[in-house]
Amino acid sequence: MPRLFTGLELPQSVRMRLSLMRMPLPGARWVEPEDFHITLRFAGDIDNRIADEFASFLDDIEVVPFDISISGVGFFGGRTPRVIWAGVEGGEALANLQRAHERAARRAGLEPDSQTFRPHVTLARLKGTRPDAVARFLSSRGGLRSEAFRVERFALFSAKPGSGGGPYVVEHAYQLGGEAASFRGKVGT
């Protein structure tokens, strides 16, 4: 059963800039720069038939290329911080692309995503990190802003079996406009 999600890859220059955000932070497990991405739709551990249908329905998505940028940092988890992230500004074009991914997932038989879409790049996963340490990190790195970059494709990724973490593999890439850029075979094979 593959663990799948769809997302946007980041240019090398943006990945490098995000990797420079790292600093000593107790309990932080920093994401490797090659694994930075913007998740559009998490599918999870799904059987091969549903994975193939999902991949097929993603082929039907037609969206014109658009620009996005990285802006600001934050965290998820409230009083128990779990994730440090970099924000993403993509406007209505990014929201439309994400909704198209949700529709493709539903057509393939996946349950509706219960999470509100908050575009971000996960920088670190946290375990036992004190809120005051996270606050210091955010105040020292809060002015993050990248140049806008063009989104010309999205990808169907697989995660490492078991942990769900990286390294992530692009199973199928789709040029915006609906034309598949590459396909390595049936998903999960």
8 A C-beta contact, residue 175 and residue 181: yes
pLDDT of amino acid 143: 87
Which residues, at least 6 apart from 33, have a Cβ–Cβ distance to it below 8 Å? 15, 16, 18, 19
**What is the CATH classification number for the domain harbouring 11?**
3.90.1140.10
8 A C-beta contact, residue 177 and residue 62: yes
pLDDT of amino acid 166: 80
- 163 or 189: which carries more pLDDT confidence? 163
Active-site residue, 172 included? no
Mean pLDDT of 81-90: 97
Residue 165 lies in a domain: yes
Residue 171 lies in a domain: yes
pLDDT surpassing 60 at residue 181: no
* pTM (2 d.p.): 0.90
8 A C-beta contact, residue 28 and residue 73: no
Domain range enclosing 174 = 3-183
Residue 189 lies in a domain: no
The tokens for 52 are 């193939």
- Report the domain count for the chain: 1
Around Cβ 28, how many Cβ atoms within 10 Å?
22
Catalytic residue among 37, 41, 101, 153: 37
pLDDT of amino acid 89: 97
Residue 188 lies in a domain: no
Distance of alpha carbon 38 from alpha carbon 7, whole angstroms: 5
Q: How far from 163 is each of 8, 49, 114, 149, CA to CA, in Å? A: 21, 22, 21, 31
Digit-coded pLDDT (tens) for 32-65: 999 999 999 999 999 999 999 999 999 999 999 9
Give me the residue label for tokens 């598949």: 180
Active-site residue, 37 included? yes
Residue 9 lies in a domain: yes
53-62, 131-140, 148-157, 178-187: range with lowest mean pLDDT: 178-187
pLDDT of amino acid 165: 73
DSSP symbol at 160 = -
Distance of alpha carbon 54 from alpha carbon 35, whole angstroms: 22
Mean pLDDT of 155-171: 84
Catalytic residue among 3, 17, 41, 120: 120
